[in-house]
């Protein structure tokens, strides 16, 4: 017995293409508009011409952004319920045309119809339903937030319609309007979607599609009329986008590459895990950002597992994507095919053993066989680089700790899959993995209610669920912020001769690793009052001091594992000790700043420490309910080590308002206090010392903001960066932190009201102090 061909008809798609004479312009302001230049979109499975598509110019992007801007106000004013009705209509529209979308996607992308029909399209539908719900609930559940404005979205070719849905549904639900740039290889489902969406009543300008290449995407990124960029694609382009948007005030989410581990313990259901591997790396020909491309098998079962895996590989069927009984379709393009082949050859040259089953590939078109590379070194190219093809590399481990170490040995951190019949073991491993999604005894599960996104160089931001909708909203209180007032710089006043007994000299040092430390350069800086009176001296920190502080913060890893109860106790204790010295702090603030509300600043700081003591064990994650027998645990995890530039305004309250949420959530901080008024922070050393704060959890380096910020931003052991200084500080934080793609929170030189809890306390900051990891746990037999 063998499979016969089971072709799906492409007649409907050909008829739709014919109505457009297989030639498309951009979709702007509710209609197709002609483009000046064009390129061809071909079928990867046959290399045949599919359609002629416009190549977007700066002018086209400009027209689309203008259309989106005109539509944004009325779209937002329509209100949550009005938008919910539209999103619901889009979901229904997709359902009505499900087969048309599935076939078109298979033709344009080369992926099997089995996948487009059963996964891409139903999941896209689900995203519109789910986000119709967020629109409906926006006024009640997200009342403190409003739409960002015009959103530019750039998507890749591996899941063209699904990526559209992941991006467009939340953006529209929240009241934004969209300019979407689909991938050059796969623009057709986006054009079909735009056309049918408008037939379904979507107002003109709410969704605009400009097709084109990388340059079209770059023009969208750089357009001054865009308020946010949401990007999915390679880490390389993600970095370019981070740099291009730095300092512009545009908000940004990046869903980037991965090299995800697939971990098989010796007590796993081996046959189940073999099927898991098939879904992890041969789904969509391995062209999946979260593909389980690094197989880690426990030594005792490795031989048997690889034997069963090879046998299963021999049964995979590679063929035309419209054949309903094939497992793998075509690779997107000859360029990608060549790149995959080159990387496999490199792997073999570096010592790997290659296995490819003896299966027949179609004689023409872009096809690559399922491939397994064994005997792979952890440092080899194929173990570290994203191949983005049907290539699995395999390694072994002995102990759970070694599995975690190998799994985390990557610059990426998108997803992981853990296979063990011992639930305790699997759930012990999941939180230790540095990535945004973990599947327990499963792989490649997705749902609109469950956030998806990466750690480290896999990008930042989440798509889906409550965690995802925030990415398309801005806090009303922050939207109303004004630029900071320029503060007058004091000039040192003339000192009158004084022959009284001088007070005992107290020059504040730095605070690193729980100890007061002399600055490396042995320089200090004088701190003046507004009238120019000397109020003290502090150490002048330099690059080396920052590096020492980061090392101390790294070593304080225990804090991230401490219980929330423990962290709460310490925050309360800090409040208690600050309270005991409230008058001293108030007079110090008055001396430094001359402000009259010094006492209320200390009072507010004590209150804030209490608030975060309260929040430490209450800013919980969530249990999502995706449509399967199982749950997804959305866990709020700390970012790790976070660098911070504190504001000059409210030198104690600003410092406390930023440090407290970070440490409440288990981060360790390297803090540069207010450059002008650092003495409130240096006085705080004694509060830290008497409050049982473990060494290295809070490190304080005084000195010049610009120099210290540069070192923090460029340091690859710093995971996050919060900057509340000048506009220029924000720009350099965003620009210089692209090396390891730090999560940044910056104020763009706008003044935050630190006394207003709606602007500076609680979830508004806690949300930025964590990254959400979703752990999927299917259950049942
Ligand atoms: P890219 O990151 O180059 O492309 C993603 C999207 O960005 C496309 O729409 C692309 O347009 C656009 N783009 C390209 N350059 C720019 C730019 N400078 N500014 C703005 N937008 C730009 O990925 P590729 O599709 O070229 O694939 C290259 C590699 O990236 C793959 O081999 C794979 O390793 C990885 N990749 C990862 C994905 C993921 O989800 N993690 C998805 C896709 C690819 P255009 O299509 O015209 O080039």
The whole-model pTM stands at 0.97
Whole-number pLDDT of residue 493? 79
CA 234 to centroid of ligand 1, rounded, Å: 5
Q: Quick one: which of 742, 750, 749 has its CA closest to 768? A: 742
Is the four-CA dihedral 163, 167, 170, 176 of positive or negative sign? negative
CA 606 to centroid of ligand 1, rounded, Å: 48
Summarize pLDDT for 30-66 with one digit per residue, the tens.
999 999 999 999 999 999 999 999 999 999 999 999 9
Residue nearest to atom 11 of ligand 1 (CA): 214
Q: Quick one: which of 720, 745, 763 has its CA closest to 620? A: 763
Summarize pLDDT for 757-775 with one digit per residue, the tens.
999 999 999 999 999 999 9
Compute the average pLDDT of residues 477-493: 86
CA 443 to centroid of ligand 1, rounded, Å: 24
pLDDT above 70 for 397: yes
Summarize pLDDT for 600-656 with one digit per residue, the tens.
999 999 999 999 999 999 999 999 999 999 999 999 999 999 999 999 999 999 999
Percent of the chain with pLDDT over 70: 99
Summarize pLDDT for 302-350 with one digit per residue, the tens.
999 999 999 999 999 999 999 999 999 999 999 999 999 999 999 999 9
Summarize pLDDT for 107-132 with one digit per residue, the tens.
999 999 999 999 999 999 999 999 99
Summarize pLDDT for 683-739 with one digit per residue, the tens.
999 999 999 999 999 999 999 999 999 999 999 999 999 999 999 999 999 999 999
The answer to whether the CB of 217 is under 6 A from ligand 1 is yes
Please give the sequence-ordered ranges of beta strands (E in DSSP) within 206-267, or none if there are none.
207-209, 228-232, 251-255, 260-264
Residue nearest to atom 47 of ligand 1 (CA): 213
Summarize pLDDT for 186-212 with one digit per residue, the tens.
999 999 999 999 999 999 999 999 999
- Cβ-contact 755, 420 below 8 angstroms: no
Pocket test for ligand 1, best of 37, 237, 331, 455 (most atoms within 8 A of CB): 237
Helix (H) or strand (E) holding 312: helix 299-313
- Cβ-contact 745, 770 below 8 angstroms: no
CA 169 to centroid of ligand 1, rounded, Å: 21
Summarize pLDDT for 579-603 with one digit per residue, the tens.
999 999 999 999 999 988 999 999 9
The answer to whether the CB of 211 is under 6 A from ligand 1 is no
The answer to whether the CB of 235 is under 6 A from ligand 1 is no
- Cα–Cα dist 709/543, whole Å: 9
Compute the average pLDDT of residues 80-97: 98
Q: Quick one: which of 126, 152, 289 has its CA closest to 208? A: 152
- Cβ-contact 545, 510 below 8 angstroms: yes
Summarize pLDDT for 219-245 with one digit per residue, the tens.
999 999 999 999 999 999 999 999 999
Q: Which residues are catalytic?
A: 255, 289
Query: Which ligand 1 atom sits nearest the alpha carbon of residue 163?
Result: 40
Q: At what angle do helices 598-616 and 564-580 cross, to 10 degrees?
A: 160
Helix (H) or strand (E) holding 466: helix 465-469
pLDDT above 90 for 486: no
Whole-number pLDDT of residue 504? 66
Please give the sequence-ordered ranges of beta strands (E in DSSP) within 133-271, or none if there are none.
145-147, 150-154, 177-181, 207-209, 228-232, 251-255, 260-264
The answer to whether the CB of 233 is under 6 A from ligand 1 is yes
CB-based burial label for 411 (10 Å; 0-12, 13-18, 19+): middle
CA 66 to centroid of ligand 1, rounded, Å: 25
The answer to whether the CB of 256 is under 6 A from ligand 1 is yes
Spell out the residues 6+ positions from residue 9 whose beta carbon is closer than 8 angstroms to its own: 103
pLDDT above 80 for 503: no
Helix (H) or strand (E) holding 729: helix 727-736
Q: What value does the mean pLDDT of the chain take?
A: 97
């Amino acid at each position: 017995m063998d499979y016969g061909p089971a072709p799906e008809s492409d007649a409907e798609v050909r008829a739709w293409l014919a109505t457009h004479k297989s030639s498309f312009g951009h979709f702007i302001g509710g209609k197709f508009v002609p483009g000046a230049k064009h390129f061809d979109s071909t079928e990867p499975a046959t290399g045949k011409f599919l359609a002629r598509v416009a190549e977007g110019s700066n002018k086209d992007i400009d027209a689309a952004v203008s259309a989106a801007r005109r539509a944004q106000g009325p779209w937002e004013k329509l209100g949550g319920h009005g938008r919910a009705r539209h999103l619901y209509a889009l979901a229904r529209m997709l359902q009505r045309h499900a087969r048309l979308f599935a076939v078109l996607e298979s033709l344009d992308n080369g992926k099997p119809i089995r996948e487009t029909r059963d996964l891409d399209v139903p999941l896209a539908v689900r995203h519109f339903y789910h986000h119709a719900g967020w629109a409906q609930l926006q006024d009640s559940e997200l009342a403190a937030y409003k739409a960002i404005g015009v959103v530019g979205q750039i998507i890749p070719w591996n899941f063209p319609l699904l990526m559209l849905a992941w991006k467009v549904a939340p953006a529209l639900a929240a009241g934004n309007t969209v300019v979407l740039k689909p991938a050059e290889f796969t623009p057709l489902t986006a054009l079909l979607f735009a056309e049918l969406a408008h037939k379904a009543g979507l107002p003109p300008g709410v969704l605009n599609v400009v097709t084109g290449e990388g340059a079209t995407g770059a023009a969208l990124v750089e357009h001054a009329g865009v308020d946010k960029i949401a990007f999915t694609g390679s880490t390389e382009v993600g970095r370019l986008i981070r740099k291009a948007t730095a300092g512009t005030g545009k908000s940004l989410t990046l869903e980037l590459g991965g090299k995800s581990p697939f971990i098989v313990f010796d007590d796993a259901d081996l046959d189940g895990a073999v099927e898991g591997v098939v879904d992890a790396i041969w789904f969509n020909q391995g062209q999946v950002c979260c593909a389980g491309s690094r197989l880690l098998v426990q030594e005792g079962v490795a031989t048997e597992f690889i034997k069963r895996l090879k046998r299963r590989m021999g049964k995979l069927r590679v063929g035309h994507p419209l054949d309903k009984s094939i497992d793998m379709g075509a690779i997107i393009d000859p360029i990608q095919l060549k790149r995959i082949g080159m990387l496999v050859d490199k792997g073999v040259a570096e010592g790997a053993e290659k296995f490819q089953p003896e299966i027949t590939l179609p004689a023409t078109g872009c096809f690559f066989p399922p491939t397994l590379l064994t005997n792979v070194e952890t440092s080899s190219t194929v173990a570290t680089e994203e191949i983005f093809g049907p290539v699995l590399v395999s390694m072994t481990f002995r102990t759970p700790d070694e599995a975690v170490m190998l799994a985390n040995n990557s610059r990426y951190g998108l997803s992981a899959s853990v296979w063990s019949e011992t639930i305790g073991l699997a759930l012990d491993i999941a939180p230790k993995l540095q990535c945004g999604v973990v599947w327990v005894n499963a792989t490649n599960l997705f749902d609109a209610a469950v956030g998806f996104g990466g750690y480290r160089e896999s990008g930042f931001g989440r798509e889906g669920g409550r965690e995802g909708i925030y990415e398309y909203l801005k806090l009303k209180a922050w939207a109303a912020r004004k630029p900071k007032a320029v503060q007058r710089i004091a000039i040192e006043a003339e000192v009158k001769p004084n022959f009284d007994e001088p007070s005992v000299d107290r020059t504040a040092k730095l605070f690193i690793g729980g100890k007061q430390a002399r600055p490396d350069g042995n320089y200090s800086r004088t701190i003046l009052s507004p009238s120019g009176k000397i109020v003290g001296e502090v150490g002048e920190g330099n690059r080396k001091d920052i590096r020492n502080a980061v090392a101390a913060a790294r070593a304080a890893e225990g804090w991230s594992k401490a219980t929330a109860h423990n962290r709460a106790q310490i925050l309360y204790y800090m409040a208690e000790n600050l309270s005991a010295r409230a008058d001293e702090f108030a007079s110090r603030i008055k001396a430094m700043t001359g402000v009259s509300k010094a006492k209320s600043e200390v009072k507010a700081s004590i209150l804030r420490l209490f608030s975060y003591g309260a929040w430490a064990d209450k800013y919980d994650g969530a249990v999502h309910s995706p449509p399967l027998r199982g749950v997804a645990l959305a866990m709020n995890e700390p970012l790790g080590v976070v660098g911070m530039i504190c504001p000059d305004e409210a030198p104690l309250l600003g410092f406390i308002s930023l440090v407290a949420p970070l440490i409440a959530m288990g981060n360790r901080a390297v803090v540069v206090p207010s450059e002008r008024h650092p003495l409130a922070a240096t006085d705080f050393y004694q509060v830290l010392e008497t409050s049982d704060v473990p060494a290295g959890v809070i490190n304080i380096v005084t000195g010049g903001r610009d120099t210290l910020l540069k070192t923090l931003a460029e340091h690859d052991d710093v995971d996050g960066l919060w900057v509340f200084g000048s506009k220029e500080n924000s720009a350099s934080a965003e620009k210089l932190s692209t090396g390891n793609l730090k999560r940044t929170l910056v104020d763009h030189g706008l003044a935050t009201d630190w006394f207003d809890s709606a602007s500076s306390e609680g979830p508004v900051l806690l949300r930025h102090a964590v990254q959400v990891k979703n752990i999927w746990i299917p259950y049942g037999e």
